[in-house]
Structure formats: structure tokens, C-alpha cells
Chains A and B, each alone.
Chain A
């Protein structure tokens, strides 16, 4: 079974803090993705990565950065958290040439 794990289910941070969200997959997938999910807006792609040390901007990259130093791990970084970044963050991974993204359970981030 493919497993995608995220470091926290719930996280509360203060405005201006640096926040790290970690995602790990155990199936040697090449592609990894970070989304945020907001009511009425669905999932919006923040960043994705096709390989180690590679990253591509998604639809809403502003205020975020990512790191992929190892194939199994994809980190999302909020350099200076703001209240409008309060959201559910979902990580996904996918093998190239296979049409399925596997999702982690999500991290619900609250920025006060």
C-alpha cells in the first residue's frame, strides 16, 4: 500500500513565525505536490516537484517555498506565516506514467 504521511494533523502558529510542513512517501514516487484546500475553492496547487532538487510553481506559490532534498520527502515552508494562510494543506505523490495521485491525510494549519 502506498503511504503518504504528513508530519502533523493539526498545527497552530502565530503571525510571522516560520512554519515547516513535512511530507514523506514510501513508494519511490518521482512526483510530489503541495495543495491547500479551502471551503468553496477546492484544492489549489501551491508547488510541485518532478525529481530531487527540482521544483515548479503551481497556481498560488506566493508566500510559500519548498524543498526536496531527498526523493521521499517534500517540505512546504511558510517563511512568515500570515492569517490568510490558515487552511488545510494536502500533500500528494505520484509515479510518472501512472494516472493516480496518492494523498496524505492533511495538516490543518491555524495562524493566529
Chain B
């Protein structure tokens, strides 16, 4: 079955880069996602990467995908207090248009002033 794993906690100093890691087990994943959950809110899509890509950059966010090791990472450059949140990686399976997502446990990012 599919399994997505993340570290539960990460603390980073303001202005440094944050790197959140994720490993997954299903090699047939089509897309891999990063979602952000701010306190008291639902999840919001940050970015996603197609499984045949190695890297995707979007402003302060860089996603790296290592298919061989089934490892996904999210790098946040110049981390700010507003980046404090829980970050979930997720993989999608199933037929295009009818995917369901399998989420990781979430990584709580704390910013140290």
C-alpha cells in the first residue's frame, strides 16, 4: 500500500532556508504535492510537481524530486514568520480526473526570531 512519511517538527531561524523532506513508497504516483495549513484553517495548495520532473521553482519555493529514492523536498528561501504552519506532502494515484491523495503526517515548521 501507499505510505508517505515526514518528520513531525522543524525549527528554523528567520531569514534562513527551510527544507522539509518527504518520502513516499508508491512508484506509480502521478503528481506530488505540497500543502500548507495555517493555524485554524484548512489546507491550501502551495505547489505540485509532475512525477517526470526533477525540480520546480516558484518564487521562494523550490521542489526537488528524486524518483529513484522516492524522496521529495520543499525548500523555502528566506523563511519568514508567516511561513509558520504545518506542511503536508501528498501523492496522487488513480485515473486522471479521479485521483485521490495520500497525505503524509505533516511537518510543523516553527520560525525562531
B40→A105 contact, CB < 8 A: yes
With A4-B42, A99-B48, A105-B42 given, is the CB distance from A40 to B96 under 8 Å? no
B69 to chain A, nearest CB (A): 21
B18-38: which residues lie under 8 A (CB-CB) from chain A? 31, 33
Question: Does B101 sit within 8 A of A, measured CB to CB?
Answer: yes
Choose one: B45, B99, B100, B104; the contact of A42 (CB below 8 Å): B104
Q: What class of interface size applies to chain A in its complex with B? A: 20 to 34
Report Cα–Cα, A105/B92, bound state, in Å: 22
A105→B100 contact, CB < 8 A: no
B42→A104 contact, CB < 8 A: yes
Question: Does B84 sit within 8 A of A, measured CB to CB?
Answer: no
With A90-B43, A100-B45, A105-B40 given, is the CB distance from A31 to B105 under 8 Å? no
Choose one: B96, B98, B103; the contact of A43 (CB below 8 Å): B103
Q: Inside 8 A of A104's CB, which chain B residues have their CB?
A: 42
Number of residues on chain B facing chain A (CB within 8 A): 25
| Binary contact readout A26-56 vs B (1 if CB under 8 angstroms, 0 otherwise) | 0000010101000011111100101000000
Choose one: B41, B48, B98; the contact of A50 (CB below 8 Å): B98
Question: Does A101 sit within 8 A of B, measured CB to CB?
Answer: yes
Q: Inside 8 A of A4's CB, which chain B residues have their CB?
A: 42
Listed in ascending order, the chain A residues whose CB lies under 8 Å from chain B are: 4, 31, 33, 35, 40-45, 48, 50, 58-59, 90, 92, 96-97, 99-101, 103-106
19 additional A-B residue pairs with CB within 8 Å, beyond A42-B88, A90-B42, A101-B43:
A40-B105, A41-B105, A42-B4, A42-B6, A43-B103, A44-B103, A45-B100, A48-B100, A58-B100, A92-B42, A92-B43, A96-B97, A99-B48, A100-B48, A101-B45, A101-B101, A103-B42, A104-B42, A105-B42
